[in-house]
Structure 1
Amino acid sequence: MRMIFPLAAAAALLSAAPALAADGKQMFMDNCSACHQATGKGIPGAFPALAGSKVAQGDPKEPIGRILNGRGGMPAFSQELSDAEISTILTYVRASWGNKAAPVKPQQVAALRTGAKRENAKEKLQAH
């Protein structure tokens, strides 16, 4: 009887993986593919490739920060996307087009989002 729960939990996680991948792909298509392309190859000279990207596959703090705060011509998505949505998109990117990186958890995004709010608040303080 005790074996049933762990097996059921494992089965639920395994069956959720394709759904998360599909959600990540759709979210990527909806929010990122206009610039980074559906192939992840970007547009040379304008929008960087995510396929084979050291940034996309490296420490998740870097791509999380770029999505939250924007960079160069990339807009900030901190107001448009939730922590779960950002983690789902990055998990898809980090496992697509030959990329092989660990998934990103919503908690990782939340930690950086909170840190960014604190930093921005400090920047807005004026000396008296």
Structure 2
Amino acid sequence: MKSLMLAVACACLWGSAAQAQTPPPTPADGKTLFAKNCAACHLANGRGIPGAFPALVASPVAIGPADEAAEVLLKGRGGMPDFSASLNDADIAAVLTYARSSWGNRAPPIAGAEIAMRRAALQVAPAGDSRFGNKH
């Protein structure tokens, strides 16, 4: 009986140690987020579909002022839905940074803090908790 109790205690301690060593969540991956949320319309190569979905390659919005690009994702524009509820500030920053630095685009990265400031200025509610969740 003592050996059984000792085995259970060791298993519990080992389990606690394994849980303590669980790595923190990884930062948002802009390429993955783009593939999940944007590529269906803007295509994986960022060239869009002429007459339906604009290209992001050399796009004045994609590579222009950070607050304008953020506003498009937070509020939507034209036929594009908003992603304010399904992507958090770090996710929006990651996907915008990916688009701004891919396919020959050379715009500076956007930080999550910039998205948070724009979200507050636009009075847009914070995103939900679903990671990689997209209502669109």
Relative to the length of structure 1, the TM-score reads 0.74
Q: Which amino acid aligns with 2:123?
A: K
Superposed displacement of residue 54, structure 1: 1.7
Are 1:77 and 2:74 counterparts?
no
Q: Which secondary structure state, in structure 1, belongs to the residue aligned with residue 29 of structure 2?
A: helix
Question: Which residue of the partner structure matches residue 93 of structure 2?
Answer: 87
Superposed displacement of residue 55, structure 1: 1.4
Distance in structure 1 (CA, Å) of the matches to 2:70 and 2:54: 16
Are 1:43 and 2:49 counterparts?
yes
Distance in structure 1 (CA, Å) of the matches to 2:59 and 2:76: 17
Q: Which amino acid aligns with 1:39?
A: N
- Bigger CA radius of gyration: 2
Superposed displacement of residue 47, structure 1: 0.5
Q: Which amino acid aligns with 2:33?
A: M
The root-mean-square deviation of aligned C-alpha atoms, in Å, is 1.6
Are 1:68 and 2:51 counterparts?
no
Distance in structure 2 (CA, Å) of the matches to 1:86 and 1:53: 17
Q: Which secondary structure state, in structure 2, belongs to the residue aligned with residue 117 of structure 1?
A: coil
Q: Which amino acid aligns with 1:50?
A: L
Superposed displacement of residue 98, structure 1: 0.1
> What percent of counterpart residues are identical?
52
Q: Which amino acid aligns with 2:46?
A: G
Question: Which residue of the partner structure matches residue 103 of structure 2?
Answer: 97
Question: Which residue of the partner structure matches residue 55 of structure 1?
Answer: 61
Relative to the length of structure 2, the TM-score reads 0.69
Question: Which residue of the partner structure matches residue 115 of structure 2?
Answer: 109
Unmatched segments (≥5 aa) in structure 2: 1-25, 125-136
Unmatched segments (≥5 aa) in structure 1: 1-18, 119-128
Question: Which residue of the partner structure matches residue 16 of structure 1?
Answer: none
* Structure 1 or 2: more helix by fraction: 1
Give the aligned length.
99
Distance in structure 2 (CA, Å) of the matches to 1:91 and 1:66: 14
